């Protein structure tokens, strides 16, 4: 699933590259956005999931602290952009570096282990035929597609007013 999410991120990169080549400003380009970051975190997770909640929590602090240290700094090289080393003059329409976001991802996994220790839902049982429940279930099952569609839709609407 992580590879699928990352591939969708690359699709967003390709789409913004096409827009840039069509005359949009360079700041429209997505180099390492939300889907790139989430997909890579998901692909890294199998190497970390065997760690205890305590070790994961401690490990999560490292990318968070490094990410905070990197915030506001710029560098003369672009090749570590996915980690959070931002080159001078960098502008993009979507940027989520691994530092600090891998740490937040890991803390989310720790919270999931703690809150869902029994591996069962804590939400009250609801009627699955209820239209509101069906609507939110649909959104949850199709969240990646909704995310992919909402970006160009909202951008297009905004461009109508600019």
Distances 46 to 22, 49, 71, 109, 128 between C-alpha atoms, Å = 40, 5, 28, 12, 32
Percent of the chain with pLDDT over 70: 100
pLDDT tens for 39-53 read 999 999 999 999 999
Torsional class of 33: left (φ above 0), alpha (ψ -120 to 50), beta (otherwise): beta
Q: What tokens were used for 13?
A: 């990169």
pLDDT tens for 27-36 read 999 999 999 9
Answer yes or no: are the C-beta atoms of 98 and 63 closer than 8 Å. yes
Answer yes or no: are the C-beta atoms of 108 and 57 closer than 8 Å. no
pTM to 2 decimals?
A: 0.87
Residue 162: exposure state from Cβ atoms within 10 A (0-12, 13-18, ≥19): exposed
Q: How far is CA 112 from the centre of its chain?
A: 17
């Amino acid at each position: 699933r992580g590879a699928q999410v990352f591939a969708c991120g690359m699709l967003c990169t390709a789409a913004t590259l096409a827009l840039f080549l069509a005359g949009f400003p360079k700041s429209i380009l997505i180099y390492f956005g939300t889907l790139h970051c989430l997909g890579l975190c998901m692909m890294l997770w199998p190497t970390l999931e065997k760690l205890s909640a305590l070790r994961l929590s401690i490990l999560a602090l490292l990318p968070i602290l490094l990410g905070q240290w990197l915030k506001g700094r710029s560098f003369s090289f672009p090749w570590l952009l996915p980690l959070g080393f931002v080159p001078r003059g960098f502008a993009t329409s979507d940027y989520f570096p691994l530092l600090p976001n891998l740490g937040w991802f890991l803390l989310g996994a720790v919270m999931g282990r703690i809150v869902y220790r029994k591996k069962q839902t804590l939400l009250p049982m609801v009627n699955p035929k209820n239209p509101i429940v069906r609507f939110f279930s649909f959104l949850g099952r199709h969240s990646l597609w909704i995310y992919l569609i909402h970006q160009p839709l909202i951008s297009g609407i905004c461009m109508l007013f600019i």
